[in-house]
A and B are shown apart, each in its own frame.
Chain A
């Protein structure tokens, strides 16, 4: 594998990895604080892509489209919490997981009921790639990479550098103690779901910009997102981000060895191997079993 080929694969892998990281972060945040894997994450992303396409068609601006998508999806996520997930506090993860599957179906079907099954696309200006040390990088890829990196860092910054983030982490670590110390669950959860919605939205728009907007687009990304969340260490958002990027890179760079069909399988094999050798995930702490 020549250096140029390798570099090209790495660039593609990094972009894919950032996408998985966004979705994985959304899953991990929910896992950490609300204690269940949210299977509706994918359909939040799908919703965001559709919203973005519609907003871009209406306003003519991609930026406005993306911003509207983020706002609307954050609202959707908060609504999901208020209407559905709020009621599962304190129960095992299976019940809210099943409810989130139901929510995923509901979201997708409401979308297709009104919008149908046609494929839609964002309007992206086509430009020749910039050649950089033998690697081809599209201008749009730079924007996508930049935006996702900024989003990831912003969410992590909220989590680690702000008071509300501190409270969120307290709830994640020990809900009873957090409640006993007077941390108001409601503000924390509303902020949490806003972040989850925003993260999913950026991921959805990113996915929509790279591919075509179809009803099942987000659902297809659910598995890698779950994998990233667990690989990074359950309840560890930073780990999820790093794991997502790692999964993307591994998938891309393994293709010369294992071929295109096995590249996804490789990342899952890696996941299993890592967990067997290091059960707490990449960055998780060795916790006692709950």
Chain B
């Protein structure tokens, strides 16, 4: 563990102890004197635990980077970390603790859709920002997000579904099939794939929904391949996808298989090997070519976790959350409240503006009064009017054991 992290913690704790005590007595002081508190609420345990610790560590080192660059003018930042346990009720209590006991102004890095859906009413009520990586469409509807406090850094399910359909068209698929992990995100993505594909004139049999934690998906695979498709979408996570890919290979499958980027990890690449992976198509939300932000994130992620940044796209999104939030705070000024900060988020993240790939770069330009456009580690980070990123999807193919990017979907 890098030493500097716990020093940050100690400093934060010292301030936290005093601040909490003061706040309890005096009530929340005026905005300008008060530090901006960020709650890192991530799935350290539970189903999202593969990504959660990386996400939380990323938030911490990203905030360190902001501090090293001079911080946000007039706004010291404090961070508090909690675990959602990938469970909505645990997350609700954690969110309540962050908001009421730690007095956070923003909660960032909730991962699972059910957690974000449970936390959103709380953050809305408290006028806190919620920056999340969940795909459920319900998170950005006007009914659920009326004050535009929630911002989505991950492709929404309909965008993922459309991406699958675009790839199918690009690969000139004639018969398509799909398998989906039994949760809301994957079922929804595959559902949108189906409607997009059928709207383009294709046909898709009922997607095969499979259960988690099984040791074999041979039967499910058999059903998916029963109509002899030449194109198969497998929308799941690392453990199940690695079993399915292995079993597809052993069954002598010839269909092109497409998986989302988060379903492939470095351990499985090593375990499956070049032969099994040959020709596998991976679709991922990617930054524009040559993203400097990704390089910075990747280096820091490796130092903090020992794994490559490409193994945790959600951590890259968390890196961008910190950058976007701090740049928005910088632009909005030291006495801005969350409504004002939310208003300028698109101004720092979307074009037009000079492209920047770090807080340090953007801060300098903002101080000079210029317009910026943050290009992130997980994508170009351009928000639509609902607060969802418009991702750019990159399509890569495994060849000789290595993932080669082939084309982008715009």
Contact = CB atoms under 8 A, between A and B. Distances in A.
Contacts of B252: 128
Given A8-B222, A117-B45, A126-B249, A212 B267 contact: yes
Contacts of B216: 12, 15-16, 210
A138 B251 CA distance: 10
B131 interface: no
Contacts, number: 96
A220 B46 CA distance: 12
A92 interface: no
Given A119-B267, A121-B267, A129 B251 contact: yes
B209 A260 contact: yes
Contacts of A212: 238-239, 242, 267-268
Interface in B42-73: 44-46, 49-50, 52-53
- Size bin of chain B's contact surface: 35 or more
A122 B246 CA distance: 14
B250 interface: yes
B241 to A, nearest CB: 10
B218 A136 contact: yes
Contacts of B209: 260-261
Contacts of A16: 214-216
B274 to A, nearest CB: 10
Interface in A82-123: 112, 116-123
Contact of B50 (A5, A118, A124): A118
Given A212-B242, A260-B211, A12 B218 contact: yes
Contact of A260 (B46, B219, B267, B272): B219
B250 A138 contact: yes
Interface string B56-93: 00000000000000000000000000000000000000
B172 interface: no
A12 B219 contact: yes
Q: Is the interface of B mostly helix, strand, loop or mixed?
A: helix
B367 interface: no
A252 B49 CA distance: 29
Contact of B53 (A117, A124, A136, A256): A117
B250 A128 contact: yes
B342 to A, nearest CB: 32
Interface string B226-258: 000000000000110011001001111000000
Contact of B271 (A5, A124, A216, A264): A124
A253 to B, nearest CB: 9
Contacts of B218: 8-9, 12, 136
B170 interface: no
Contacts of B268: 119, 121, 212
Interface in A1-54: 5, 8-9, 12, 15-16, 19
B182 interface: yes
Nearest to B218: A12
A264 B250 contact: no
B243 A126 contact: no
Nearest to A210: B215
Given A117-B52, A212-B267, A264 B251 contact: no
Given A216-B49, A256-B219, 6 more contacts: A119-B265, A121-B271, A126-B246, A126-B276, A128-B252, A211-B243
18 contacts: A9-B219, A12-B216, A16-B214, A118-B267, A118-B307, A119-B265, A120-B267, A121-B267, A121-B268, A121-B271, A128-B252, A136-B218, A210-B215, A210-B243, A212-B242, A216-B49, A260-B208, A263-B211
